[in-house]
Chains A and B, each alone.
Chain A
């Protein structure tokens, strides 16, 4: 109910933030949106000795396309901004479909995509999206910059591979290798819930042929699951009943659902199969 005491710093630059991290090491937690961290602190599941509030550091609240076609999302870019982004709507339909499904409007005002990735909740939606997109986290420290593929960044429930002196300053989505289409489907018991099952689909096509496919699952494993076999089954192919069915089957096999309050394992696995079928069948990449 009441957080335990902590030392609080609100640095106005990354260098100031690094100074605090040098003093407190892994006893410090970075605070951006706080929509995952603060609830943990209130319930005393987390009790960091120091909180480093980065909300006053300028130059982190952007999301923009680079000249090479990659998309950079700064550490203070809020879900709310992504929800309303014309850039996402035109260039990244998977992310555009995900942003409005994150929690609720108030959480989206403060919460951040980068923070969501760092928190590494197995039921977090953005990690699936970033896996499907081949995304990366860029971490900074006094030692310089480090690029970490999301698949190597989130390594377990609530576990990321940041060093204690590092801050994740942005997420990066590489340029597409074709026309990008896709979506995010989320089954929830009620609006604002965590996913019973979530599916991120990214297709990059050229002339009707899939150059690159990304499929990742939320809520059906110890962490977000990248469906590598399903992705490989689609690469170089066109979408038809047969390739869709195979991808759906492989994705369902890759899921590791557990029976819980949200449903039985068999049910969730069936939802994965259904979602993949639905997402691919409705895809703009599908020949008429």
Chain B
């Protein structure tokens, strides 16, 4: 069995692991590292529940091999905030009831982070385009959009006081 040593920084921590080349990044995160916050929702690269940040940019971790992350940085929802110290995006999803079952939520939040990192003052339309790759079966999206708007305003008012 052919394995390769990969060195990936995940949520700020270096990980050095031998993996088969065919191991998907999402399986590496969930099954090798035990970080089950990133979800698997389809088999067709459609749903976006597996969204993580790869060198700060949003990717579908089900559509990358773990070996492609060698030498790169990955951020998952576990790195977004702690229950003792929520990220404003997580607070927004709580405040605006941006989830029901929660299955799409980690992917939604990571895609939202990428959006807000690039555009700290998005319109509703910007948010809907930025989350176009993330599907939700429960909410009808309107509270997700409100959650991101809430988070954007919180982050703008926090800026200069606390950096996240």
Contact = CB atoms under 8 A, between A and B. Distances in A.
9 contacts: A3-B22, A5-B20, A38-B63, A42-B24, A51-B21, A100-B129, A105-B130, A106-B58, A109-B59
Interface of A: 1-8, 10, 31, 34-35, 38-39, 41-43, 51, 53, 55, 80, 100, 103-107, 109-110, 191-192
B85 interface: no
B150 interface: no
B152 interface: no
Contacts of A3: 22, 24
A38 B62 CA distance: 9
B67 A35 contact: no
Contact of B2 (A5, A10, A41, A110): A5
B107 to A, nearest CB: 9
A104 B54 CA distance: 16
Interface of B: 1-2, 4, 20-22, 24, 43-46, 48, 51, 54, 57-60, 62-65, 67-68, 70, 111, 114-115, 129-130, 132-133
Contacts of B62: 42
Contact of A104 (B4, B43, B68, B132): B132
A8 B21 contact: yes
Nearest to B55: A109
Contact of B48 (A1, A6, A104, A110): A104
Contacts of B57: 80, 109
Contacts of B67: 8, 10, 53
